[in-house]
Structure 1
Amino acid sequence: MKKITLKDIADHFGVSISTVSKAINDSHEISRDVKLKIRQYAKAHHYRPNRIALSLLKKSTNTIGVIVPNILNYFFTQVFYGIEKTANSRGYTVISCVSDESFIKEQQTMKLLSAGTVDGIIMSLAEQTQAKGDLQHILDVMENQIPMVMFDRVTDKVECDKIVVDDFEAGYKTTKYLLQTGCKKIAIVSSIFNSSVGKLRVEGYREALQEMGLDYDDKMVVKVGGADDLEILISLLLDSIAVDAIIALDEMTAVDTLNILKMKGIDVPDQISIVGFTNGRLSKYVSPALTMVSQHGKYIGELAANILMDRLAYEGDMPFTTKLVKTSLIERDSTRKVDKNHRAYQ
C-alpha cells in the first residue's frame, strides 16, 4: 500500500499542503470542522508524519543520540537508563548506539547521528579512540554546532559539557581501604588499561601505595586484552607474587576473578580479598558477595540528559560545565573487615 502524504490529503480536500499540516497539528488558524474532517481522513488512511521532513522544518528532532563503548558493562547500562528516563520525561526520544570500544565504529556512528538525525549527543569515548588520540570525527560534529555532553571517558581536546567520575580518588581510596584491612600485596586486574578511567584508577592505586611506603610494581598490574585468557594471567600472577588482594576494574572481571580463585581452592576473603568496580546485579548474587565501587551510573545519566536538554532549550551563549561525581564503596563479603573508625571511604 502506498504511503499517504500531506499532498495526497491536500488534493483530496482541494486545500493547500500548509492547511493540511496546520489541521493535523491542531492549529487555531483552521476551523474546527475542517480540522476534524482532515484528521479523521488522515487517521483512516494511516497517515504518519515524516520525522526527517518535520525536523528540517522545525530545525529540531526532539531526539538525542547516546554512544556508549560497552553495553555489557553494567555502569553504561545504568547511565543509559538514567538518560532515557530523563529524556522521555522531557519529551525527547533517545537513539542508543554502541561503539564496542572501536574507533572506526565510533566514527561511523558520529557521522550517522550528526546527519540531522539528533539535536544533541551524549557519549563516552571508545578505548581505541583514547588509545589512538584521533578526535577529528568529534571535532567535526562540534563544528556543525551539535551540542555534546561527554561522560566518564572524556578528553581535554574537545570543549563541551563533561561529567567525570573521580577515578583517581576511587583507585586511591579502594587501595587505602584494602591496606587498612591488613592487605599488603594488592594487584590490579584491568581490561580497560588504555582508557583514561583505567589509567586514573591505577594512578590513585600507586599514590596510596607510596603514601604507605610500599613500592609500586608494574607486574602487579595485570592487563587483560580481548584475546587474553584471564585464568592464565591470574595463574601467572599468583605463581610469581604472594598476592593478598585484587582490585578488578570492572564488574565482569571481578566476577570472573572470584570464580577463578574459587576453582583454585583459594579462600575469599581470608586468603585473597577482591574489590570490583561498578555495583551491578551480578556482584550481589555471587558467593561470597563482592565488595564493589559504585560510580552512580543512573545519576550520571540523569545529569547528562538534563545538561544537554537545558543547553538545547537555552537561547544564547552558555558556558560549558564539568561535573565531578564521587564514588562510593559498597562493602560485602569478598573483603576483610576494617576498623570503622579508620575508613578510607567517608
Structure 2
Amino acid sequence: MEQKVTLKELAKQLNVSISTVSKALNDSPEISPRTRERIKEAAQLRHYIPSSLGRNLKSMQTRTIGVIIPDILPHFFAKALYGMEAKATEMGYRLIICISNESLKKEKESIETLISGSVDGIVMSISQETQAKKQIQHLLDLKEYNVPLVLFDRVLAGIPCDKVSINDSLQAEQATMELISTGCRKVAYATGIPFTSVDDQRRDGYMEAAKRQKMKNRIIEFTHDKFPHQKFLKLLQEEKIDGILASDELSAVQVTKCILNAGFRIPEDISVIGFTNGVMGENFRPSLSVIDQQEEEQGKLALETAIDRIENKLPDEFMDYKLKTTIIHRDSTRKV
C-alpha cells in the first residue's frame, strides 16, 4: 500500500508553506484561485487524505490534546499526567499520550503522529537528546500547523510558546543554602539528568549558592543506568563531602544508597536533598528531604493553558508560569 502523503510533504513539493497548502485545500480567499487549483491538483495526484484538516478549522476541533513526555517511569511525569488527565476530563477534552524515551527521533515522530491525528494542541516536556543536540526546528515548525504548543518542566527560552515550570535555579540555590544552614560545609551537586534545561538551571542555582558562600564547586554527573560508584566514593572520601543536592528523585536515591553502603550515616555524616516529592524518596530509609516540584499542578496548569490557547482565551503574548515550591524536610537532612 502506498504511504499516505502528509501536508508537510505536499508543501515541500510545491515550494510553499504548510499553511498555504492548508488554506488552499479549504478554499481560503487568502490564496489566489490559480494557486488553489495547483495545490488541489497536486493533492489529488498524490492521493492526499485530508485527515488533519480539522486542526486548522476552529469549527472542526477534535477536542483532543497530544501529550509528549520523555519517560513514563519517573514519579514527576506520572503525577503530571495524572493532573493533565483530571483537567482534560473536567474541561471535556481527551488526551493522546506519547513517550519520547529521551530521543530526538522519537520526539519528532511523536509530533508527526499527533499532527496527523488532528490534535488541537500539544503539551510536552522536551527530550534529553533534543536539548543536548540543540535541535528544535521540529518544535518551531508547529506554528505552520496552527497547533498551539505548551512546554512544561523542561522549557527552553528560544521556543515561542506558553510555558509552565518552577524556578529551578532559585530552588536549587535555596536548597543548597538550607544544607549550609544546618552545618554542611562541603556540598556537592549530583545529577543523573545532564543536558536538560532543568539540570542546567539547578546546577546554576547550586553554583550561585556556592559562590556566595565561597565554597568550592563539587559536581558529579552520570546516567541513571551507569552510576559511578567508585568515582562518587572517591569524591566523598577525598573532598570530605557532608551535603548533597541531587538533581532528581532517582539520583537522590542512588547517591543515598551509595553513601549508606559505604558506611556513612545520613544525616549525621552527610545530608541529602533531592528534587521531586515522589513515593520512592518518601518510602526510602532514611526518607528523603525533597523540593516539591508541584508535579500534578504543573500538569493541570499546562493542560488548562493549552485549552485556553486553543479556545482563544489568552492574550497574544505567551504565558510563562512559575509555580511556587517548598522544601519538604524528612530524615535525610539535619534539623536547624
**TM-score, reference length from structure 2:** 0.80
Are residues 227 and 332 of structure 1, via their aligned partners in 2, closer, same or farther at CA, if it must alter by over 3 Å?
A: closer
- Worse overlay, 261-270 or 176-185: 261-270
**Aligned letter for 2:203?**
V
**Partner in structure 1 of residue 236 of structure 2:** 238
Moved segments of 4+, more than 6 Å: none
CA distance in 1 between counterparts of 2:219 and 2:254 reads: 17
**Partner in structure 1 of residue 266 of structure 2:** 268
**Partner in structure 2 of residue 131 of structure 1:** 132
**Aligned letter for 1:258?**
T
**Partner in structure 2 of residue 292 of structure 1:** 290
**Partner in structure 2 of residue 197 of structure 1:** 198
**Partner in structure 2 of residue 63 of structure 1:** 64
1:228 to 226, 229, 251: 226
Cα deviation for residue 66 of structure 1 reads 0.6
Cα deviation for residue 233 of structure 1 reads 3.2
CA distance in 2 between counterparts of 1:308 and 1:92 reads: 11
**Partner in structure 2 of residue 169 of structure 1:** 170
CA distance in 1 between counterparts of 2:172 and 2:89 reads: 34
CA distance in 1 between counterparts of 2:152 and 2:198 reads: 11
Written as runs of structure 1 = structure 2, the 5 A alignment for 1:201-216 is: 201-216=202-217
**Aligned letter for 2:185?**
K
Cα deviation for residue 71 of structure 1 reads 1.5
**Aligned letter for 2:289?**
T
**Partner in structure 2 of residue 281 of structure 1:** 279
Greater gyration radius:
1
**Partner in structure 2 of residue 144 of structure 1:** 145
Partner secondary structure for residue 182 of structure 1? coil
Partner secondary structure for residue 100 of structure 1? coil
Cα deviation for residue 316 of structure 1 reads 9.1
CA contact (8 A) 2:308 2:314 kept: no
**Partner in structure 2 of residue 310 of structure 1:** 308
Are residues 163 and 317 of structure 1, via their aligned partners in 2, closer, same or farther at CA, if it must alter by over 3 Å?
A: closer
CA distance in 2 between counterparts of 1:296 and 1:67 reads: 19
**Aligned letter for 1:241?**
E
CA contact (8 A) 2:66 2:114 kept: yes
CA distance in 2 between counterparts of 1:230 and 1:325 reads: 33
Summarize deviations over 1:140-165 as a string: whole Å, max 9, x none: 12221101111111122221111121
Are residues 323 and 334 of structure 1, via their aligned partners in 2, closer, same or farther at CA, if it must alter by over 3 Å?
A: same
CA distance in 1 between counterparts of 2:261 and 2:170 reads: 32
**Partner in structure 2 of residue 252 of structure 1:** 250
Are residues 59 and 176 of structure 1, via their aligned partners in 2, closer, same or farther at CA, if it must alter by over 3 Å?
A: same
CA contact (8 A) 1:172 1:208 kept: yes
Are residues 104 and 246 of structure 1, via their aligned partners in 2, closer, same or farther at CA, if it must alter by over 3 Å?
A: same
CA distance in 2 between counterparts of 1:315 and 1:248 reads: 39
How many residues in Structure 1 have an aligned counterpart in Structure 2? Answer: 284
**Aligned letter for 1:272?**
I
Cα deviation for residue 317 of structure 1 reads 6.4
Structure 1: runs of 5 or more not aligned: 1-51, 339-346
CA distance in 1 between counterparts of 2:165 and 2:286 reads: 31
Cα deviation for residue 255 of structure 1 reads 1.3
**Partner in structure 1 of residue 43 of structure 2:** none
**Partner in structure 2 of residue 23 of structure 1:** none
**Partner in structure 2 of residue 335 of structure 1:** 333
Cα deviation for residue 189 of structure 1 reads 0.9
**TM-score, reference length from structure 1:** 0.78
Cα deviation for residue 75 of structure 1 reads 1.1
CA contact (8 A) 1:54 1:61 kept: no
Q: RMSD over aligned Cα, in angstroms?
A: 1.9
Partner secondary structure for residue 114 of structure 1? helix
Identical columns (%) = 37
Structure 2: runs of 5 or more not aligned: 1-50
